[in-house]
Amino acid sequence: MLIDSSEQLRQLTGNYYASNDFSLIRPDIEQATEELSRLVGEGVIALAGEAQDGTPLRLKVQRPIAILATLRMYQKNDLSHEDDGRKFKTATDGSDRLPWEWQLDRDDAIQMEAYFRAVDSLIEFLNASKPAEWTSTALYRDMRQLIVRSGRDYDRYFPIGRSERTFLLLAPFIREAQTMTVQDAYGPDWDKLVAENLDTDLDTGPSKSESPAHHAACMAVCLLAMQAALCRLPLRLLPFGVVKGYLAESGMRGSEPASLDDVRRAADWMQADAARWIERMKRARDNSAPDYELMPRNHPRNKWCRL
């Protein structure tokens, strides 16, 4: 196991008592390790287990495990589980008070945000260092076949806070938008368009100027992928403010929580924007100028003069 003491948990999280009984949190650490291994692969977890304490890879893997495990333990300990049922206890001298439910919800959100940032940091480190245990995974190979291949890449076209975890959630929708819509619209030279920046480092971004067709295709793919994710994924899995931020850019207020109507409206607007970018991609592919209607159509029954 990558974490073997309460003192390590204290150092990794900053809020876990080193005097706590470590055996009580061991199952949560094992489950958190399994969840992380499903995301980055068992080979990366094994590589971190072989590394020495204090090395960058080991710390990057330990931190999300520690944060998620301690959060799970805190949530279970809000109530005591005894033989005659679940109970909550308060100190008779008034030194301890139970938190309000909104305080628990806020703390859960803060802890999950810290977990997401730790996962983002780990994936960015893997993309930069490129160990064989990471580059040999099916997930990494699938990302290399997409026209948008990392959270940093995606953030250039649609803001997701450069979150690599969010990008991995969006990867199936990116592939769907690419293969079902944008690739068919572009035509038989799609592989050449994808290969345009294929040698680009996932961590540093494009190494050369981007063609208009490539930019338009990426914009369409990102918009369609986010539109599909809004319709199919729970909103809590997506970055906070994606819907409200998109609506605010379109003139809506962003101070209130997003409602289902806001989600539907944002999804419809994203789909319409994606259609416009697909048309721009086709024009860039064909090197053709857009057709502008310079003179209005003369309709014999639509002639009005206002004095």
Is 247 a domain residue? yes
Residues 207 and 124 grouped into a single domain: no
Is 32 a domain residue? yes
- Dihedral, CA of residue 218, residue 221, residue 223 and residue 229, to nearest 10: -140
Report pLDDT for 254: 44
pLDDT digits (tens, 9 = 90+) for 239-291: 655 655 555 554 444 445 556 777 788 888 899 999 999 999 999 998 876 66
Q: Where are the alpha helices (DSSP H) in 130-241?
A: 132-135, 138-144, 151-155, 164-177, 183-186, 190-194, 212-232
Residue 205 Cα distances to 133, 154, 304, angstroms: 23, 10, 55
Report pLDDT for 78: 76
Number of domains in the chain: 2
Report pLDDT for 236: 64
Report pLDDT for 262: 72
Residues 50 and 110 grouped into a single domain: yes
CB 131 within 8 Å of CB 83 = no
Name the 3-class secondary structure at 79: coil
Query: β-pairing, 80-82 with 85-87?
Result: antiparallel
Q: Say whether pLDDT at 56 is over 80.
A: yes
Is 87 a domain residue? no
Report pLDDT for 165: 86
Q: Which residues contact 253 (CB under 8 A, 6 or more apart)?
A: 247
Residues 55 and 169 grouped into a single domain: no
Q: Name the pLDDT band for 195 (thresholds 50, 70, 90).
A: confident
CB 161 within 8 Å of CB 135 = no
Report pLDDT for 289: 64
Closest C-alpha among 229, 206, 224 to residue 278: 224
Residues 69 and 108 grouped into a single domain: yes
Residues 225 and 164 grouped into a single domain: yes
Q: Say whether pLDDT at 35 is over 50.
A: yes
Residues 279 and 170 grouped into a single domain: yes
| 45 Cα distance to chain centroid | 21
Is 140 a domain residue? no
Residues 175 and 127 grouped into a single domain: no
Residue, of 98 and 27, whose pLDDT is higher: 27
Q: Say whether pLDDT at 303 is over 90.
A: no
Mean pLDDT of 25-52: 92
Report pLDDT for 77: 80
Is 307 a domain residue? no
Residues 129 and 153 grouped into a single domain: no
Residues 129 and 150 grouped into a single domain: no
Residues 33 and 122 grouped into a single domain: yes
CA dist., res. 257 & res. 1, Å (int):
41
CA dist., res. 13 & res. 65, Å (int):
10
Residues 178 and 71 grouped into a single domain: no
Is 1 a domain residue? no
Range of the domain at 274: 145-286
Mean of the per-residue pLDDT values of the chain: 83
CA dist., res. 26 & res. 22, Å (int):
6
